[in-house]
Amino acid sequence: MKVSEQQRGDSDSVVRIMAEVLGADELKPSDSFYDFGGTSLQAVRICTRVKRELGIKVSPDTVFDSDTVADFTAAVIASGEAV
């Protein structure tokens, strides 16, 4: 499956949003939300910013259910494709 430029940009934006909300200088795809002490409020902030900046609605449960940054990013992209 080829990744479009839009999807690549969205993926980069999701990682940037997560890093900013979690106060991390950089996130690796294998990092976990919980590695950075992620809270429910931060999960809501991440989802709110994803909706505002990318127009993709995701639930905080998606953050909690994703084992890694890569898993969350893939879930966001999949949600965007479903729209």
- The larger pLDDT score, comparing residue 1 to residue 42, is at 42
Q: What is the pLDDT of residue 9?
A: 64
Share of the chain above pLDDT 70, in %: 87
Task: Compute the average pLDDT of residues 34-47.
Answer: 96
| Tokens encoding 65 | 């259910």
- Give the SS3 label for residue 55: coil
Q: Is the pLDDT of residue 1 over 60?
A: no
Residue 49: count other Cβ atoms within 10 Å of its Cβ: 17
Look up residue 80 and give its amino acid: G
Looking up tokens 């919980």 gives 34
Q: Which of 24, 23, 18, 26 has the alpha carbon at shortest distance from 43?
A: 18
Looking up tokens 């002490």 gives 37
Looking up tokens 């080829």 gives 2
